[in-house]
Amino acid sequence: MQMVKLQKNDINGLLLLNKPKGLTSNQVLGQVKRLFNAKKAGHTGTLDPLASGVLPICFGRTTKFAQYLQNDTKEYLVTCKFGITTDSYDADGNIVNTIAGASLGQADLELAINSFLGEIKQEPPMYSALKHKGRPLYKYAREGITIERALRLVTIYAIELENYAASSLTATIRVLCSKGTYIRSLIHDLGQKVKIGAHVVSLERSMSAGFNLTECHSLEDITHMAANDVTSLNSILLPTVYCVRNLPTLELTLAQLTTLRYGQNLYLADLDLAPGIYAALCDGTFVGVVQFYINTQLKVVRLL
């Protein structure tokens, strides 16, 4: 008997997912893609298997604007334990050092935490998806190979101690940071700062690109919807314009949009616009992203 291949749905939009613990971001993406029976989908900003929280997923043409979500600020709530260091910098790794009888006062901890505020240099962990010669670093790490990693500049906009249990050397810290910040590396460096080591016990991304956990759907709820009323799935998708909601907007006429679609640039000398990236609208509908230059030239970045 010849099997009939199920036709994939050509859907577009943004799903705000509360990623569960225990799965990689790609595993969750695969499940969501199957539930929606979608042709194309991609997530924005990897979360470790140990981590949970806000994971925006783009479908179809919306994936073309995912970068504007990835580049935005993120907030994390991280629980860490001092006195123990692991090779992966989190509880999923192997213990490499334990400080017997370690102690740490709250005042000293807060002083150390505050030293990470602002722009800092950070070394990505070996257990990460960053690639060296086309191969993820975590594959080298599993083979006991350490690769030299270049330091990267990241920004910690806010960092504060939510609670601390000195008896168990366990702390919960809230972090507001820039794109590319490794919270595991931050906690590892904090552990080195207080001279007793530390690792991540649990991690929750509470905000990404301005979206909070309260706006997200759980994988369990989405699975239930797919099993009982598959048509309701599309109702939870946000339109593509939500990817660029933090960009200033520029209203174009139909004639101007047509010019851009033909690959020509526009000169808008009569507009008092600051140079930069804009979300382009036509009749109030999002049509793409454009860039305005200081010489009054308007160019296409990406159009729907």
Q: Which residues are catalytic?
A: 48
CB 184 within 8 A of CB 125: yes
Query: Count of CB atoms within 10 A of residue 90's CB?
Result: 24
CA 236/CA 222 separation, integer angstroms: 9
CB 89 within 8 A of CB 70: no
Residues 6 or more apart whose Cβ sits within 8 Å of residue 288:
280, 300, 301, 302, 303, 304
Whether the CA torsion 128, 131, 132, 136 is positive or negative: it is positive
Give me 247's structure tokens: 């960009």
Q: Point out which residues pair with 160 in neighbouring strands.
A: 174
CB 36 within 8 A of CB 66: no
Label residues 92-119 b or e (16+ Cβ within 10 Å = b). Answer: ebeeeeebeeeebeeeebeebbeebeee
User: For the chain, what is the total number of helices (H) and then of strands (E)?
Assistant: 7, 19
Question: Which ranges constitute the DSSP H helices of the chain?
Answer: 25-36, 67-70, 106-114, 137-142, 183-193, 219-228, 254-261
218 — phi, psi (to 5°)? -80, 155
Look-up: residue for tokens 């690792």? 199
CA 62/CA 267 separation, integer angstroms: 28
